[in-house]
Amino acid sequence: MKELLEGSQAVAEAVRLCKPGVISAYPITPQTHIVEELAAMVAEGKLRAEFVNVESEHSAASVVLGAVATGVRAFTATSSQGLLLMTEVVFNIAGMRLPVVMTCANRSVSAPLNIWNDHQDAITVRDSGWVQLHAENIQEALDLHIQAYRIGEGPKIMLPVMVNMDGFILTHGLEPVDIPSQEQVDSFLPPYNPLYKLDVENPLTLGPLVDPDYYMEARFAIHDTHKDVLRLIPLIRDEFQKAFGRSSGGLVEEYRVKDAEKVIVAMGSVCGTIKDVVDILRQKGKKVGLLKIITYRPFPSLEIYKALKDVPRVAIVEKAVSLGSYSPLLSEIRSVFCGKKNPPVISGFVIGLGGRDITIDSIKEIFKRLTAKQISEEYIDLKPELLGDEFV
């Protein structure tokens, strides 16, 4: 059924269709509408789940950890400081191999306090073991939530999945979306039935103390499972397309990359703006393209290598930083080409931090700056008048 929905409502619909037994969350802008909507669905009896109100994100994450540990599908959502407060539990959820699904309504991190969009929150927990997916638009956000449970709950996977969607831009924007039927989702997503769960009849321990004799193997196992996730995600995308009739998800999406001389690599909603700019420049005969990263963890190195190996100039356009070093995506993509013959010239651009608007001109400027000379890393749309003389 097609509807014009706010991104948050669309995600709530997706979650409802996935039938979680437990939802727990603490409200934080711009995630709030998602969990408000779900709370209303539970109160109105449209969703048979227990909605657990908690006093903090740390508790919200702990509640869904416990729920999934007992074999119940669960959902939570957060943003920014909320994710940071959860971080301890976020690592535990992955370490205990519990396939929680969480929406991260991406928002900048304090200080200074800022409620608007960038990717710093999700990037900050990139090493936690969670699968991290990024949505470009509201339909993709809806679809990725359905896929997320399939990916995470795979018997050989058993890992949590974070679906990232840009705060305000997608959470508070309205767009036409296709809401699948319950039957469609039921036949795509079987009930959660884990091999191991907390059960008083068959006691077991999750997340115990392990000494140096055991710890490394537990960590290695998660790392190695991420390789399986890389193989699984394209299969889930294909199966989703067969079941729902549209392509959503996957590892990366190539947009007019074949024959391109300049390609931007980016994640999330800015990819839509970049696609429009690519079309504008292509009409003028400029050979440009976009490589959209959908799956950020596990990192699809091989797909990125294949997509970019014949592209002379590449721009990594990123809404996050690693203060004191190169930005995360830039470092990783440069390392993909380390030691390879004739690698592209890879330049780095930081953009849109704290919700600074990313315009058509911002993207055109990046394409323009992609010359044969590598740009180590540059911040786009900085306001020099706000910086002291020592920065100029």
Interacting residues with other proteins (CB under 8 A): 4, 6, 115, 137, 166, 168-169, 172-176, 269-270, 272-273, 275-276, 357-360
244: closest CA among 103, 146, 150?
146
Closest separation in Å from C-beta 245 to other proteins: 15
Closest separation in Å from C-beta 291 to other proteins: 16
3-state secondary structure of 358: coil
Closest separation in Å from C-beta 76 to other proteins: 24
CA-to-CA dists, residue 28 to 53, 109, 347, 382, angstroms: 13, 12, 35, 28
Closest separation in Å from C-beta 166 to other proteins: 8
Residue position matching structure tokens 């797909």: 303
| Helical H segments across 167-253, by residue range | 182-188, 215-244
Instruction: Name residue 379's beta-bridge partners.
Output: 350
Closest separation in Å from C-beta 378 to other proteins: 20
Q: Based on CB atoms, which residue is closest to other proteins, 275 or 313?
A: 275
CA-to-CA dists, residue 210 to 196, 207, 215, 248, 271, angstroms: 19, 8, 6, 40, 43
Q: Based on CB atoms, which residue is closest to other proteins, 169 or 230?
A: 169
State phi, psi for 158 to the nearest 5 degrees.
50, 65
Q: Based on CB atoms, which residue is closest to other proteins, 124 or 137?
A: 137
Q: Based on CB atoms, which residue is closest to other proteins, 80 or 269?
A: 269
Q: Based on CB atoms, which residue is closest to other proteins, 166 or 318?
A: 166
DSSP state of 243: H
